[in-house]
Amino acid sequence: MKIVTAIIKPFKLDDVRAALADIGIQGMTVTEVKGFGRQKGHTELYRGAEYQVEYIPKVKLEIATEESLVDQVVEAIVGAANTGKIGDGKIFITPLENVIRIRTSESGSTAL
């Protein structure tokens, strides 16, 4: 099993969710986060005053999946979240040792 963590632009969340649903992904965790990469923030204008935004709002998705589906999950996220502009985000794939469903005590891939 693997956990796929994706950092994407907030307005792409619905597109990514739909793309993941199309390949059979039944659940994910979504967190609103802030950060920066190569964008290094930007300048905005508010009531005539200019100020620097150092941390860009993003959305973090965490999807636990079987190893055989990882490539499909990554393709779905890349296809739905890509705008071709800087700041589209990143995808991280890490091993997932075990999963336990609290309600039934199932573990492993049956708990996904």
**pTM for the whole structure:** 0.86
Burial of 91 (0-12, 13-18, 19+ CB in 10 A): middle
- CATH architecture, range 2-111: 2-Layer Sandwich (3.30)
Q: Please report, in tens digits, the pLDDT of each residue of the chain (112 residues total).
A: 999 999 999 999 999 999 999 999 989 999 999 988 876 766 667 777 777 777 889 999 999 999 999 999 999 999 999 999 888 999 999 999 999 999 999 999 888 8
Domain boundaries, the chain: 2-111
What is the number of other CB atoms lying within 10 angstroms of the CB of residue 106?
13
